[in-house]
Amino acid sequence: MLTNLKDKKVLVRVDFNVPLNADHQITDDTRMRKALPTIKALQDQGAAIILMSHLGRPQKKRLEDGSIDVSKFTLRHLVEHLSSLTDTAVQFAKDCGGEESILMSRDLKGGQILLLENTRFDAGESKGDTDFAGRLASLADVYINDAFGTAHRAHSSTTTVAEFFEPQNKSFGLLMQDEIANAKKILNSPKRPCTAIFGGAKVSDKIKLIERFINFADTIIIGGGMAYTFIKAQEGSIGDSLVEDSHLDLAKDLINKAKEYDVNLLIPEDSIIADKFAADAKTQCVDSNTIPDGWMGLDVGPKALKAFEPAILNAQSIIWNGPLGVFEMEAFSKGTMSIAKMVAAASQKGAFSLVGGGDSVSAINASGLADQVSFISTGGGAMLEFLEGKKLPGIKAIEGE
Ligand code: AMP
């Protein structure tokens, strides 16, 4: 991150898109706490800090008369908590790049913090509008992007704004630096053996990821709903399990490609099946390719877990994206929780492990083992795209091509 910022006005894009309850109270402040190291480092340097973030989707959830629902989406809801987290009386501008922002940033002193109103109140934000970005840029001498979670979006405050700053006056914040450095530990010559664990609902969401990892992982474990497309592609009977028939050929291609590249592709041998998609469904454990009609696979079974175990415990680097079953229901959470334990155990033995993607992060948090893995990414979709090999707009805007 940039240094020597005493008395400089520093515009920082953070990700304060925190969940709020009906009384506008913050129910999970993780994203705010993740931004604290950058804010603290800037305060220590004596910089005047101008923070901006989006909160929710105010353009999509307009009021009946077409206006923005300010009372719901205002960042003012965050001021008190941010003040207590930073031990600083945070100032608030009720616009984002408007007159009040200009006046308040002008008067902002080193060490002080100004929070701007929701970036998405301006319809130009999600279009990457240059005028809006220019107004934001005019508030500061320096731009710092610490919002990894939105780095895959070419929005004004994450991407276009950076065009207004010379290379020496823009940088990543500490959180974003950390996210990129950890993802690169997996992507650039990972320690071997390298095991990738992919779960979640749909193959279509993860194809690019699987294709990419076939190029360099030693083992790929497939779990979750998407496993059944692979099982059907190998002529298995999958009953009423989730399947994407339009992706059967692709699943076959991936299986062949894994053979060609000598990648150990592990598809769950057995499954916990249910007679309905419900927490109180009847369940049984069967081989994954003999699931009767009227039943659906909702978790991986014990044989599958046994087969996965050595590939995880002996790995030196591990990437995990997506739950192995419908972990939100206790009856189908065992596979995911067992994987969490294996990843934690491998990490404790010295493997590097990265857990990324929204649901696997919730799963590792629910397992109580979050502090035993090497790195948990804050950037669901952004991390997915980064791992797929895309150059994210928010990163390109700082680093160049
Ligand atoms: P994703 O966002 O693609 O990572 O998918 C996460 C969702 O996949 C979670 O809500 C899980 O409940 C769901 N899921 C995992 N395994 C299965 C399965 N076997 N059948 C249906 N849904 C599943």
pLDDT of 28 > 90? The answer is: no
pLDDT of 401 > 80? The answer is: no
The catalytic residue positions are 31, 202, 358, 381
Q: Are residues 346 and 245 in the same domain?
A: yes
pLDDT, mean of residues 99-127: 98
Within a 13 Å sphere around the CA of 341, how many CA atoms are in the beta-carbon half? Answer: 10
Q: Are 10 and 30 in contact (CB under 8 A)?
A: no
Q: What is the pTM (predicted TM-score) of this model? A: 0.90
Phi and psi for 297 in degrees, rounded to 5? -80, 120
Would you say the CB of residue 47 lies under 6 angstroms from ligand 1? no
Q: Are residues 28 and 88 in the same domain?
A: yes
Which residue reads 């970005």 in tokens?
A: 133
Domain boundary among 117, 137, 172: 172
Considering the domain boundaries, does residue 192 fall inside one?
yes
Q: What total of structural domains would you count in the chain?
A: 2
Band of the pLDDT at 107, cuts 50, 70, 90? very high
Letter for the amino acid at 230?
Answer: F
Considering the domain boundaries, does residue 4 fall inside one?
no
Q: Are residues 14 and 34 in the same domain?
A: yes
Find the 346 Cα to ligand 1 centroid distance in Å.
24
Q: Which token pair is 98? A: 């408007």
Q: Are residues 271 and 221 in the same domain?
A: yes
Q: Are residues 227 and 311 in the same domain?
A: yes
How would you classify the pairing of strands 113-116 and 142-145?
unpaired
Give the number of the atom of ligand 1 that is nearest the alpha carbon of residue 201.
8
Would you say the CB of residue 325 lies under 6 angstroms from ligand 1? yes
| Sheet of strand 296-300, all strands in order from the earlier edge strand to the far edge | 283-287, 270-274, 296-300
Domain boundary among 125, 150, 172: 172
DSSP code at position 188: S
| pLDDT in the model for residue 115 | 98
Domain boundary among 137, 172, 207: 172
Run of H or E including 323: none
Q: Are residues 283 and 371 in the same domain?
A: yes
Nearest CA to ligand 1 atom 1: 200
Q: Are residues 149 and 221 in the same domain?
A: no
Nearest CA to ligand 1 atom 6: 200
Q: Are residues 73 and 117 in the same domain?
A: yes
**335-361 pLDDT tens trace:** 999 999 999 999 999 999 999 876 888
Q: What beta strand segments (E) does 106-174 contain? A: 113-116, 142-145, 170-172
Nearest CA to ligand 1 atom 2: 200
**195-217 pLDDT tens trace:** 999 999 989 889 999 999 999 99
Q: Are residues 286 and 356 in the same domain?
A: yes
Helix, strand or coil for residue 332?
helix
Q: What is the extent of the structural domain holding 101?
A: 9-172
CATH number for the domain spanning 273: value is 3.40.50.1260
Q: Are residues 224 and 371 in the same domain?
A: yes
270/184 Cα distance (integer angstroms): 34
Considering the domain boundaries, does residue 393 fall inside one?
no
Q: Are residues 199 and 97 in the same domain?
A: no
Q: Are 99 and 50 in contact (CB under 8 A)?
A: no
Q: Are residues 53 and 163 in the same domain?
A: yes
Considering the domain boundaries, does residue 3 fall inside one?
no
Low-confidence winner among 131-145, 288-302, 363-377 (lowest mean pLDDT) = 363-377
Rounded to 10 degrees, the C-alpha dihedral 174/176/178/180 comes to -150
pLDDT of 170 > 90? The answer is: yes
Give the number of the atom of ligand 1 that is nearest the alpha carbon of residue 271.
19
Would you say the CB of residue 254 lies under 6 angstroms from ligand 1? no
